[in-house]
Amino acid sequence: MEFCDDCGSMMKTEGDHWVCGSCEFEKPRDEKQEQAMTTTQGQVSTEIVDVSDAEDQGLPSTKAQCPKCDNDKAYWYMQQIRAADESETRFFICTECEHKWREDDH
């Protein structure tokens, strides 16, 4: 990822140049520098969250319907599972059966 020297906006590649989408500043691409860049493609979160004794871990609770047992209370936490420029995902843990689900699961 490259940022514009003039305005600080994120730049995109166009052929053999970096081009700013905001102010049209251009600079040549440097292949060696780009090879040293870290990408988020293929990165997978390996963090393991122990859901047992969730209350003792200090997790906050909220009103949320468990899809497994219909309990209406769950612990929740946020975790970054996608690229850093995307929002975090909220996970829920049922206070009764400890079933775990994501906010966007249906």
Query: Was 66 annotated as part of a binding site?
Result: yes
Is 94 annotated as ligand-binding? Answer: yes
CA–chain centroid gap for 105, Å, is: 16
Is residue 69 a known part of a binding site?
Answer: yes
What is the identity of the amino acid at 25? F
CB 2 within 8 A of CB 39: no
The annotation status of 4 as a binding-site residue, yes or no, is yes
Contact 79, 92 (CB under 8 A): no
Instruction: Return the closest-CA partner of residue 81 out of 43, 37, 50, 51.
Output: 43
Answer yes or no: is 90 a known binding residue.
no
Is residue 44 a known part of a binding site?
A: no
Which residue ranges make up the annotated binding site? 4, 7, 20, 23, 66, 69, 94, 97
Binding-site residue ranges for Zn(2+):
4, 7, 20, 23, 66, 69, 94, 97
